[in-house]
Amino acid sequence: MKAPGTAIEPIWEEKRENPRFPFSSTVMFEDYRAGTCHDGRMMDHSRTGMRFETGVAPELGAEIFIGMDRSPYSTAHDVFRARVVWLQPQPFSFCVGVKYY
């Protein structure tokens, strides 16, 4: 039972399937339907997705292909097919969260 006049702080819980790991790498992503390519920088990754920063906001729900020269998953160049699941505007860019297919 809480004392009168006190607040109970909500407990924030991570809802990701897998933990994020910091990793920085340049990326290039292609919106397959729109036929456009843009560059960005990976900020972190997990087994099921990644977060990257870019100057152009892809459409929420868009299927994109992401290529990177330096991959956290292998020593070679990697390409991933992913879906944009969230966007967060920044002062001069966008943070983009994707989930791999």
Helices (H), the chain: none
pLDDT band at 42 (very low <50, low <70, confident <90, very high): very high
The residues, ordered by sequence, that sit 6+ positions from 8 with a Cβ below 8 Å of its Cβ are: 2
pLDDT in tens, 24-33: 999 999 988 8
What pTM did the predictor assign? 0.80
Sign for the pseudo-dihedral over CA of 76, 80, 86, 89: positive
Enumerate domains of the chain plus CATH numbers. 21-100 (2.40.10.220)
Decide if 101 contacts 81 (C-beta within 8 A): yes
What integer pLDDT is reported at residue 10 of this predicted model?
Answer: 47
Q: Are 39 and 46 in contact (CB under 8 A)?
A: no
